[in-house]
Amino acid sequence: MSKPVRIAFLGGLGEIGRNCMAVEQDKKILLIDCGLMFPKAEHGDDIDVIIPDFTWLLERKDRIVGCVATHGHEDHVGALQYLLQDASFPLYGSALTLGLARNRIAEARLTDKTKFIEVSDNDRIKIGPFDVEFIPVTHSVPHAHAIALHTAQGVIVHSGDFKIDLTPVDHRRTDLARLGSLSSNEGIRLLMLDSTNAGERGHAPSESDVGAVLRAIFNEHRGKRIITASFASHIHRVQQIADAAIDSGRVVVPLGRSMIN
């Protein structure tokens, strides 16, 4: 009889933020992401962030063998600093993902509660009883991964946040070939996909197309000040803004704590 595999969601379903999933096998627990959610107007003015309910997890904290971070956005790694106050486990992710997570964990002075273990595209490693594969995906923050868990119950794929961009700025595409081979050769027992804007028709524009528009706007308005807005973690967008500014003879002035950092 195959060993059971249990999945528990501590947040991230039907909401933007608090992404946190626990997978249990052989009485060990692997986390995929541990994010926070920024409050909306209806939450009131006295709430800074909303985090997953860790009650169930902390009752089993000795079973946690690690956390796999799909990418470095706050809604996927921003709650680690709160969980690490009461638990200790290693964190796995790409170099950029770990760097973004480390900043927040260091601010909370909790770097001694974890180890930062860097992985590369298509790495397949053992974390406790879990066989974990890191599949490259394109996202607004570079070096994101989908996660394939090769378990006793078959392959479980967690997409993380992703987009299909055939001409990404860094030429690092979502590895559809690997996802296809998993489906054809091993079979995917459970597929969990990011669903943000899944109900919208059409295709997401390529980030390279955005760069072309930026250059056109900057060239059209030479000699004038241009103000742009971007998430600091959207590194390719920031780079394209800087490239367009330099090409049109402008000086770039970053504003905002996260952007300067």
Report the relative pairing of strands 91-93 and 144-151 from DSSP bridges. unpaired
Nearest one of 14, 52, 45, 16 to 31, comparing CA atoms: 52
Domains in the chain with CATH codes? 6-192 (3.60.15.10), 207-253 (no CATH)
Report the relative pairing of strands 28-32 and 64-68 from DSSP bridges. parallel
The percent of residues in the chain predicted with pLDDT above 90, rounded, is: 79
Q: In what order do the strands lie in the sheet with 188-192?
A: 124-127, 130-137, 144-151, 154-158, 188-192
Does 1 have pLDDT greater than 60?
A: no
Is 145 within 8 Å of 134 (Cβ atoms)? yes
* Tens-digit pLDDT profile for residues 128-144: 999 999 999 999 999 99
Structure confidence at residue 14 (pLDDT): 85
Q: Which residue has the higher pLDDT, 45 or 38?
A: 38
Q: pTM of the prediction? A: 0.91
**pLDDT tier at 43, thresholds 50, 70, 90:** low
C-alpha to C-alpha distance for 256 and 228, rounded to whole angstroms:
12
Sequential DSSP letters for 151-197: ETTEEEEE--S-B--SS-TTS----HHHHHHIIIII-EEEEE---TT
